[in-house]
């Protein structure tokens, strides 16, 4: 189908409220949306990873990306929902005599200068990962950057951690493509850790002895990989993949390796397996479950994913654990020997709670996922301290109980919501619908909502053809959806649950 030339114009009647019409001007992809009677012209690719916005949907004045659910304001082009941060370009539109024209592919910039931000006091954010960076970036975007200190224990400036197991590890993206935007005016401290919080004085003490005062403290300390427990698990050739430094070490080791053993068939473990297959290694997956993703997606999707990875050359050892690793052979708990040059553990993560525990903050019950207990304003038991991201156990109104979610976009949106709350821009409590994606070769899975178990599920579509939707229920009510090949449905269900 030929791409429409919007310079030639289209009939105004084609642009009904909320409909996306795609085309080009001078080879530039552009989407048109009528919002509140006015036609808006925006660049047609998401600024996150260039997904075609023509395949997205319009919800409450935002255009939403079909791949990773980033959100852009239709009128201004602002990226109002992660994982995108850069705005969409806007183009001049004329509507006259029943026709709509985009006269030029040159973007326009007539945005009104942001008014000065309200006084929010000194904000210290501990953790420069997804949640901490997103909070700092949103505060800075609205003029409050000078009030913010962002502290990260990694030497690197904030980056997109999802690349570590996917594009960067696979050799498809460089470090520069991982970089997250530097928040304007924010004081960034990298390579340092917070040693203590003194709540009475409202100060944090860094590992170099420096003390920083705060009016608002934000804990975004994230999670750390769980190390496997077997003889030889402390060897240097046993890897985890959480940070870019972890990925660098694994990439360097893979250059001299021919065979890799991945422990765990979780999302992260299988993403690592796919990336190492892409680097030309033979990969074996050892997992204590019978099928990949079985505990979160169910047996049908698990079988589909195992078949996909198997067709790419991955071998599976289901229902097994490594008992011993000597650098050349992994002996499994049934006596099987699996040869390899390195081991990668992808058996999950644990929230980093030491700082919160030492400060005496209330923690959530471990049976409910643990973490730092927060209310719907993301406040801890100390109202001057907030917790966001992987450590936060926050109320979920749809489920009726708190949940702790370890996903990149969830952490980013928590940070963005908290920034808007501190700026006085939101009045309702935090209530975003959880979302994550996982990439396996040319297959992408989208998951919206949350359930504790995949047991109550309904399959719609053709699993073998990888065109499927899995509907998950909790207490008899649909609360989560996993899709392959049905991006629009994923977006629509997310919007439906937001309204609920």
- Do 71 and 101 have their domain in common? yes
Q: Which run of H or E residues covers position 489?
A: helix 487-499
Length reported for the chain = 500
Say if 433 falls within a structural domain. Answer: no
Q: Where among 347, 365, 388 does a domain terminate?
A: 347
Q: Give the domain CATH number at 39.
A: 2.102.10.10
Helix or strand run (H / E) with residue 58: strand 57-59
Asked if 231 and 168 touch (Cβ cutoff 8 Å), the reply is: no
Residues 461 and 314 both lie in one domain: no
pLDDT for residue 3: 79
CATH number, domain with residue 474:
3.30.390.30
158/182 same-domain check = yes
Query: Is 428 a domain residue?
Result: no
In this structure, the strands spanning 349-351 and 223-225 are antiparallel
Residue 339 forms part of a structural domain = yes
The string of DSSP codes covering 281-325 is: -EEEEEESSSSTTHHHH-HHHHHHHHHHHHHTT-EEEET--EEEE
State how far the Cα of 276 lies from the Cα of 280, in Å rounded to an integer.
Answer: 7
pLDDT confidence of residue 2: 60
With a threshold of 0.85, does the pTM exceed it? Answer: yes
Candidates 87, 221, 94; CA nearest to 152 is 221
Domain that holds residue 340: 238-347
Say if CB 409 and CB 69 are below 8 A apart: yes
Shared domain check, 396 and 322: no
Whether residue 246 sits in one domain with residue 209: no
pLDDT at 367 (0 to 100): 82
How far is it, in rounded angstroms, from Cα 135 to Cα 125?
8
Q: How far is CA 285 from CA 51, 97, 188, 268, 306, in A?
A: 31, 63, 39, 12, 10
Q: Looking at residue 115, what is its pLDDT?
A: 58
Residues 182 and 129 in one domain: yes
In a domain, 219, yes or no: yes
* Sign of the torsion angle spanned by Cα atoms 470, 474, 478, 481: negative
Same domain, 217 and 354: yes
Within this chain, do residues 15 and 102 fall inside the same structural domain, yes or no?
Answer: yes
Is position 232 within any domain? no
Q: How far apart are CA 101 and CA 450, in angstroms?
A: 43
407 belongs to a structural domain: yes
For residue 290, count CB atoms less than 10 angstroms from its CB and return exposed for 0-12, middle for 13-18, buried for 19 or more. middle
Asked if residue 484 lies in contact with residue 466, where contact means CB atoms within 8 angstroms, the answer is: yes
CA 48 to CA 19: how far, in whole Å? 22
Q: How far apart are the first and last CA of the chain?
A: 38
Give the integer Cα–Cα distance in Å for 331 and 324.
5
The CATH code of the domain that includes 290 is: 3.50.50.60
- Does residue 39 belong to any structural domain of this protein? yes
Considering the domain boundaries, does residue 114 fall inside one?
Answer: no
CA torsion angle for 405, 407, 409, 415 (degrees, to 10)?
A: 50
Q: Are residues 34 and 20 in the same domain?
A: yes
- Cα–Cα distances in angstroms (integers) from residue 433 to residues 430, 448, 449, in the given order: 10, 7, 6
Q: What is the pLDDT along the chain (500 residues), one digit of tens a residue?
A: 567 888 888 999 999 999 999 999 988 999 999 999 999 999 999 999 999 999 999 999 999 999 999 999 999 999 999 999 999 999 999 999 899 989 776 677 765 555 577 899 999 999 999 999 999 999 999 999 999 999 999 999 999 999 999 999 999 999 999 999 999 999 999 999 999 999 999 999 999 999 999 999 999 999 999 998 999 999 999 999 999 999 999 999 999 999 999 999 999 999 999 999 999 999 999 999 999 999 999 999 999 999 999 999 999 999 999 999 999 999 999 999 999 999 999 999 999 999 999 999 999 998 888 999 999 999 999 999 999 999 999 999 999 999 999 999 999 999 999 999 999 999 999 999 999 999 999 999 999 999 999 999 999 999 999 999 999 999 999 999 999 999 999 999 999 999 87
In this prediction, residue 8 carries a pLDDT of: 87
Q: Cβ contacts of residue 223 below 8 Å, gap of 6+? A: 242, 349, 350, 351, 352, 390, 391, 406
What tokens were used for 314? Answer: 């991955």
Domain identity same for 36 and 75: yes
CA distances from 420 to 46, 287, 301 (A): 23, 42, 38
Beta strands per DSSP E along 322-426:
322-325, 329-332, 337-339, 342-345, 349-351, 372-373, 385-387, 392-396, 401-403
Going 496 to 497 to 499 to 500, the CA torsion angle's sign is: positive
How many helices and strands in the chain, by DSSP H and E? 10, 36
Q: Are residues 218 and 354 in the same domain?
A: yes
- Residue 415 is given by DSSP the state H
User: Are 403 and 472 in the same domain?
Assistant: no
| Domain final residue pick, 108, 143, 158 | 108
Domains contained in the chain, number? 4
Q: Which tokens belong to 168?
A: 């960067």
Which of 108, 142, 171 terminates a domain? The answer is 108
């Amino acid at each position: 189908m030929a791409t429409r030339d919007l310079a030639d114009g289209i009939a105004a009647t084609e642009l009904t409220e909320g409909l996306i019409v795609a085309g080009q001007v001078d080879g530039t992809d552009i989407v048109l949306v009528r919002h509140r009677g006015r036609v808006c012209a925006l660049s047609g690719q998401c600024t996150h990873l260039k997904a075609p916005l023509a395949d997205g949907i319009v919800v409450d004045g935002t255009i939403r990306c079909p791949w990773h659910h980033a959100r852009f304001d239709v009128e201004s082009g602002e990226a109002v929902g992660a994982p995108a941060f850069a705005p969409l370009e806007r183009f001049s539109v004329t509507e006259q005599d029943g026709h709509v024209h985009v006269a030029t592919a040159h973007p326009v910039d007539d945005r009104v200068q942001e008014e000065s931000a309200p006084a929010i006091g000194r904000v210290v954010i501990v953790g420069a990962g997804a949640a901490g960076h997103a909070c700092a970036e949103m505060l800075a975007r609205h003029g409050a950057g000078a009030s913010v200190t962002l502290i990260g224990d990694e030497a690197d400036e904030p980056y997109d951690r999802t690349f570590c197991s996917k594009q960067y590890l696979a050799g498809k993206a460089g470090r520069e493509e991982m970089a997250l935007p530097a928040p304007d005016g924010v004081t960034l401290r990298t390579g340092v850790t917070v040693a203590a919080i003194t709540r009475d004085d409202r100060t944090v003490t860094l590992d170099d002895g420096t003390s920083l005062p705060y009016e608002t403290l934000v804990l975004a300390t994230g999670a750390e990989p769980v190390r496997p427990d077997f003889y030889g698990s402390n060897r240097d050739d046993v890897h985890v993949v959480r940070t870019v430094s972890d990925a660098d070490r694994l990439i360097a080791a893979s250059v001299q390796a021919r065979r890799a053993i991945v422990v765990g068939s979780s999302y992260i473990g299988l993403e690592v397996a796919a990336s190492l297959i892409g680097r030309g290694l033979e990969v074996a997956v050892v997992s204590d479950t019978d099928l990949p993703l079985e505990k979160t997606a169910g047996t049908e999707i698990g079988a589909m994913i195992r078949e996909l990875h198997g067709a790419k050359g991955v071998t599976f050892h289901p229902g097994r654990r490594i008992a011993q690793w000597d650098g050349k052979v992994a002996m499994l708990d049934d006596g099987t020997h699996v040869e390899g040059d390195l081991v990668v553990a992808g058996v999950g993560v644990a929230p980093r709670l030491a700082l919160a525990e030492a400060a005496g903050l209330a923690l959530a019950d471990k049976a409910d996922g643990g973490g730092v207990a927060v209310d719907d304003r993301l406040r801890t038991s100390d109202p001057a301290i907030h917790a966001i991201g992987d450590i936060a156990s926050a109320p979920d109104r749809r489920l009726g109980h708190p949940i702790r979610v370890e996903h990149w976009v969830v952490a980013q949106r928590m940070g963005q919501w908290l920034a808007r709350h501190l700026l006085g821009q939101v009045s309702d409590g935090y209530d975003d619908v959880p979302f994550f994606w996982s990439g396996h070769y040319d297959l992408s899975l989208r998951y919206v909502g949350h359930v504790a178990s995949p047991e109550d599920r309904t399959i719609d579509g053709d699993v073998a053809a990888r065109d499927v939707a899995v509907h998950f229920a909790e207490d008899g009510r649909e609360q989560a959806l996993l899709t392959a090949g049905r991006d629009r449905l994923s977006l629509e269900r997310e919007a439906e649950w937001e309204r609920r």
